[in-house]
Structure 1
Amino acid sequence: MSVRLKLLAAARNSTLLETRFGDDRPLDAAGWHEAERAAPVLCRLAAAELRYCSPSARCRQTGEALGLRPLAQPALRDCDMGRWRGRTLGEVTAADPRGVEAWLADPRSAPHGGESLLEFITRIGGWLDTRPAEDAAGLLAVAEPAVVRAALVYVLQAPPHAYWRIDVQPLSVTTLTGRSGKWDLLLEA
């Protein structure tokens, strides 16, 4: 049997320049507005029999704003950024330029003391591969854009550095089909 999993990227909680590693801030006013505006289109996702979300505030609130009532899954949390948690890329680059360079160049590197990119991708892939083998009414996960990117790298069996080339927009939906170890990306009209 094949599983159909829809990954919904959470609504925004800050502007791109204010984005912080491991950011657990709630949705900002723009994020709430965007989610409420998208609700008539995205409410169809509530038909999924199993609904999950990353445990972050913005993922839970995105699910709430859309009436999805997803169950938080610790395995869907964002990458553990260790000492860099709560800081912007600009702040970290100013304080630890070599660390940032190593982190961007080597997917096994974790200069922040948290998860490496490779460990993050592997964790998300492990979650994917433990989804039920049958899905009568589909699966849904409201996740951080980073989680969606990691899932795509895993599913496409792309090299880890491809992660940096995937742009996931807030409230975008990505559909994956398949089963443990055999996933496909489905682009829908």
Structure 2
Amino acid sequence: MHVRLTLLAAARSSSLLDVRFDDDRPLDAAGWHEVLRRVPSLSHLAAAELRYCSPSARCRETGSVLGLTPLAQPALRDCDMGRWRGRTLQEVTACEPQAVDLWLSDPRAAPHGGESLLTFIQRVGGWIDTRPVSDGGWAVGITEPSVLRAALCYVLKAPPHAYWHIDARPLTALTVTGCSGQWHLSLE
């Protein structure tokens, strides 16, 4: 079965300097403005057969502003960051520099007590592979930027450390086509 899946990174919920692990804050004013500005260029997403989103407030709000009324999917949630949830990288590095180094260098490590990077990528990939879209159908997912990065690693079968070299900015879209285990990246 051949399907198309478009993942769209949600609009922003904070400034770059205040990005927090596993953040569930709603869109900030700049995020609202940006998604409203992009509605005309993203309105085609409403034609998708199925529309999903991460359970986070900013993903639900981005989908709603775009008129998608997406269904929240737990598998599209941000990486479980355990005790680091809600803290910035700078805050965690100040308290646990060795744990941060381990987390950044070993994709199987989860020094925060949550998910490892490898487990996160596999969770996102499992969701991609099991979308119930009809043959030739199209699904859209409004996700955290981290989910888009994990999806890209999974689809391209890239090594997990490639995750750290992908920049997924707010409202960046990624479209893949194919079927379970045989995905192709479509640049638009």
- The two structures have a TM-score, normalised by structure 1, of 0.97
CA distance in structure 2 between the partners assigned to 1:106 and 1:49 by the alignment: 38
- The two structures have a TM-score, normalised by structure 2, of 0.98
Aligned-partner residue type, residue 72 of structure 1: A
1:58-109 Cα offsets, whole Å, 9 max, x none, are 0000001111110000011000000000000000000000000000000000
Runs of 4+ in 1 over 2 A off after TM superposition: 132-137
Residue aligning to 2:175: 175
Alpha-carbon offset, residue 133 of structure 1: 5.5
Give the secondary structure class of the aligned counterpart of 1:23.
Answer: coil
Give the secondary structure class of the aligned counterpart of 2:176.
Answer: strand
1:114-143 Cα offsets, whole Å, 9 max, x none, are 000000000000101101263454110000
Matched, 1:48 2:48: yes
Number of corresponding residues: 188
CA distance in structure 2 between the partners assigned to 1:131 and 1:52 by the alignment: 10
Give the secondary structure class of the aligned counterpart of 1:68.
Answer: coil
Aligned residues: CA RMSD: 0.9
CA contact (8 A) 1:35 1:66 kept: yes
CA contact (8 A) 2:7 2:141 kept: yes
CA distance in structure 2 between the partners assigned to 1:135 and 1:162 by the alignment: 31
CA distance in structure 1 between the partners assigned to 2:157 and 2:136 by the alignment: 27
5+ residue gaps, structure 1: none
Identical positions, percent: 70
Matched, 1:84 2:97: no
Residue aligning to 2:28: 28
5+ residue gaps, structure 2: none
CA distance in structure 1 between the partners assigned to 2:77 and 2:60 by the alignment: 12
